[in-house]
């Protein structure tokens, strides 16, 4: 038996804008479905902040400021 994982994931991936739009849309749908589930809402918000900060660093800063209010 070896210590090699079954699948090796890449260190980085690239997404085009259409793919990013699909992810953001999916997050919006997940947020609607999560309702009052605070844990789910927190995970969705974290994913949205991650995507946003990678694409639009200035907008990511604004989202951070908004969440601190």
Cα torsion for 7, 10, 14, 15, to the nearest 10°?
A: 30
pLDDT of residue 60: 56
Q: Which portions of the chain are predicted below pLDDT 70?
A: 1-3, 60-69
Sign of the Cα pseudo-torsion (49, 53, 58, 61, in order) = positive
- What is the CB-side half-sphere exposure of residue 16 using CA atoms within 13 A? 1
pLDDT for residue 58? 79
Q: What is the DSSP letter of 6?
A: S
Read off the pTM.
0.68
What does the pLDDT read at residue 69?
A: 52
């Amino acid at each position: 038996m070896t210590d090699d994982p079954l699948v090796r994931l890449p260190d980085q991936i690239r997404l085009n804008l259409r793919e990013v739009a699909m992810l953001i849309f999916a997050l919006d749908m997940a947020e609607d479905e999560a309702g009052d589930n605070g844990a789910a809402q927190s995970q969705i918000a974290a994913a949205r902040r991650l995507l946003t900060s990678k694409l639009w660093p200035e907008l990511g800063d604004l989202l951070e400021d908004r969440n601190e209010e």
